[in-house]
Amino acid sequence: MPKFEELRFDLDELEDAEVTEGEFSRYKGDIPPAGTTLIGLVTKMWLTETSNEDEMLKVIFQAQENEGDLEEYNGYEVWDNLALIPGAKFRWKPFLDAFGITLGDLKNKMKLEPENDNVGAPVISIGKWTVGEDEAWCKITTEKEKYKGEWKGTVDKWYGYDEATDEEEDEEEPPPPPSRTRTRASAATSAKSSARGSSAAAPARRTRATEPVEDEPEEDEAEEAPAPRRGARTAKAARTQESAPARRSARGRGAATDNDPPF
C-alpha cells in the first residue's frame, strides 16, 4: 500500500465536473435464457483492436420496451465483439445488415470522438446511422457462455427492428399441402366404400319387403278400433272440396287442366 503524503487530484476539476448517471446501467435481473428475442438499441460502440491487433467493433446492446413476459429484461445490457476479419464475417455481417450499413460506410463514413477512452475510440455515427438514436433500434437473440467459471449473456445474432428472426420465420411457415396422390387414393377409397355400402343395403331392403307379415298387436288393435263417424268423414270431404279451388287459383291460369270447368 503506497504512503500518501499529499492528495494529487485537481480540486477545481472535481468541483466543476457534471453529475452523470454513468455509461452503464445497473441491471440486477437474471440473464435471459438462450434463444430469447429482445428489442432494444445500440447505446455504445467503440472502434478498438483485438489481441492480434485486428480492428474490432465493441458494441453494447440494451434491452428496452419489451412487454409481457420479456418486460423483466428491460435494462439488460450485453456486449458483442465484432472483429473485422474474414473469419468473423458470420458475426459482423448480420450486425451491419441489421442497420443497412455497408463496408464502404464503415470504412469511409465512420465518425469517432476526438479522444479515446479506456475502451477505445467511441463511435458517434456511421453515415446516417447514429449510435443511441432512433436508427439504432434493433432486435437480438440471446446466447449464454461460461467465462472464468461463470455464465454470462452474449449476442447470438442481430436483426433489424422490423426483421423476423429465424425462429419467427419457422413458426410462420405454412404446412405443406397434402399429396395429390394421397387425395386421389382417398377419394377412390371413399367411392368404393360408398358402393359397398349401397350394394349391401339394397338386399336388406328387398328382404324386408318380401318377408311375410306376421300378426302384430297393432293390426289387432286396428281391427278393434271403432269406425270413424260419418259426420267426421263428411266434414273432411267438405274441407277438401273447399280447398281445391283455392289451390288451383294459387297455381294460376296456366296450371288449369282439361278437367277444370271453363270460366
pLDDT tens, residue by residue, 24-37: 557 888 999 999 99
**Whole-angstrom distance, CA of residue 95 vs CA of residue 97:** 5
Q: Which of 63-72, 143-152, 171-180, 193-202 has the highest mean pLDDT?
A: 63-72
pLDDT for res 192: 53
Read off the DSSP letter of residue 18.
Answer: P
Higher pLDDT, 43 or 188: 43
Amino acid identity, residue 132? G
- Residue 146, helix vs strand vs coil: strand
Cβ-based neighbours of 95, under 8 Å, separated by 6 or more: 57, 59, 80, 82, 158
Task: Look up cell 441489421; give the residue.
Answer: 98
pLDDT (average), residues 161-180: 71
* Boundaries of every domain in the chain: 31-165
**Whole-angstrom distance, CA of residue 243 vs CA of residue 237:** 10
pLDDT at 60 over 50: yes
**Whole-angstrom distance, CA of residue 148 vs CA of residue 51:** 18
